[in-house]
Amino acid sequence: MFSPYCNNNLHNIVNIKKPVYLTYSFINHWIQIRKKSSVITNKVEVSSMDILTDETQFRALEKSVTPLCRMPYEKQLVLKQQWTNTVCKEVRSRLHNAKTLITLPRVFPISSSPQINEYRNKDEFNFRPGIDGNPKTLGFFVSNPAKENIYCVSAMKLINMKQSHKDIAQVFEAFVRKSELPASYDHMDGGFWRGIIVRSNLKGDKMAIVVANPRGYTNEIMLNEQRRFNDYLKSTNIDIKSLYFHPSLHTRSSKDSTFILVDGDKYIYEDLCGFKFRISPDSFFQINTLAAEVLYKELFKLINLSKTSTLLDLCSGTGTVSIIGSQHVQSCVGIESVAQAVNDAKETAKINNIHNCDFIEGKVETILKQVLDELSMTSDLCAVLNPGRAGVHPKVINAIRNNRLINTLAYVSCKADSPITMKNLVELVINNKKSRPFTLNSIKPVDMFPHTKHCELIFMFKR
């Protein structure tokens, strides 16, 4: 499912009740806590019911993907500050139920995003029939589960996306509509064209990744379509730094690692906090580059590293935390499961002439204990855990708690109210006889996703 705040975006599905209507709820603060055992949920205050038509489809998509976009930005920040306080109270409530008493941690004021419009550096567009019935409509999805109908709506009017990304999507849609090959909605439906991913940096360099379903199509057909689209692009005014073709046999293209460079450079590069980062087609990189600078500055201000510290970077992605933190510590160790991200991190360290970072490929829950054993002689071990919206396996929390050297931990979450993340936060603090608990000292919100209901939270744990 498409998420307007994370990098691995596929599409956004909006539930529509019979007939094809989009229904939205009134609420006063857009934050609810259902029951003590439930997860915090956010609902957006919208005051209308829209019939899905040619005229209303764009407003409907806007309300789903950027529900706060018609609200003054300062008010958006107020709501996210209130949500942060609610997350804080929910953690305390769960600990109270688990017979672990804590005082409320300090909640810092939210830091705003330096850029609030067109800030996304990665977008993914997919095919489905449009409201007009065209089977090759590219954009994001709305659905009517009762009738099992899925419609595609163009993203051209979403203000959090760069115009250059929308332009590339529009050109790709025009090309596919002229193609004799059908669009693919499912990996077993016999279609070919699935969608396109567009990435870019602050300088404006753009990378496009065409995603196709190769099932039933020969290499000759695929090579011919790659060349045709490349020629079509060159006939337009759109300049693309890197063009890739990504054949994927799975429903989620992230399960396939084959990326074929059709034209241009293999990588694009981004400047972040004074460092140059290499970005590959499937690399994780924070979706809002300028706000990411704010996030990392706040992170290192809170974690208070020293030249005798070793930084343990868990779920390290392309190594941003390690690379930026390298100037403050004796050494950094990053653990990441995606091989290409690890390669990018290592290459980024070389580009920036950094020699005190080591990056290890593997699942954190599988290799963390071994890495911690190898760091047993470290005098000051600080950990940063940035697992994204999915949270981490309980084995990771147990390994961190059981390691006597880790007394400072920053848990960075883009979806703090998810069930697994909530469980992670509680398990770090809860009393048990097996290991010494952490104390949640503070929470720092940073708005990485203007116009959406989400923001990034830094949880600082000490013991």
Residue-wise pLDDT tens digits, 274-291: 999 999 998 888 999 999
Q: Given this model, what pLDDT does residue 388 score?
A: 76
Q: Band of the pLDDT at 256, cuts 50, 70, 90?
A: low
**pLDDT, position 40:** 38
At residue 257, does pLDDT exceed 90?
Answer: no
Query: Which 3 state secondary structure label does DSSP give 18?
Result: coil
Instruction: Decide: helix, strand or coil at residue 296.
Output: helix
What is the rounded CA–CA span in Å between residue 389 and residue 291? Answer: 18
Please give the sequence-ordered ranges of beta strands (E in DSSP) within 145-241, or none if there are none: 149-153, 193-200, 206-212
Q: Which amino acid is at 335?
A: I
**Average pLDDT score over residue span 208-214:** 96
Tens-digit pLDDT profile for residues 368-377:
889 988 998 8
Quote the pLDDT of residue 334. 95
Mean pLDDT score of the chain? 86
Closest CA to 88 of 441, 455, 462: 441
Residues tagged active-site? 414, 456
Mean pLDDT of 95-117: 92
Dihedral angle over CA of 432, 434, 439, 444, nearest 10: -100
pLDDT at 26: 26
pTM for this model (two decimals): 0.85
Residue 11 has pLDDT above 90, yes or no: no
Q: CA angle 121-126-131, nearest 5°? A: 120
- The mean pLDDT value for 52-62 works out to 84
Average pLDDT over residues 125-149: 83
CA distance 193 to 165: 18
- Judged by average pLDDT, the poorest of 55-64, 325-334, 416-425 is 55-64
| DSSP state string for 167-192 | HHHHHHHHHHHHSSSPB-SSTTSS--
Between CA 55 and CA 358 the distance in angstroms is 53
User: What would the pLDDT profile of 346-400 be if each residue is shown by its tens digit?
Assistant: 999 999 999 999 999 999 888 988 998 899 888 889 999 998 777 888 989 998 9
pLDDT reading at 209 higher than 90: yes
pLDDT tens digits, one per residue of 166-184? 999 999 999 999 999 999 9
Return d(Cα 319, Cα 356) in angstroms, integer. 12
| pLDDT tens-digit map of 12-36 | 333 333 333 333 332 233 333 333 3
pLDDT band at 10 (very low <50, low <70, confident <90, very high): very low
pLDDT at 44 over 70: no
Q: What is the pLDDT of residue 109?
A: 98
Give the pLDDT score at 389.
78
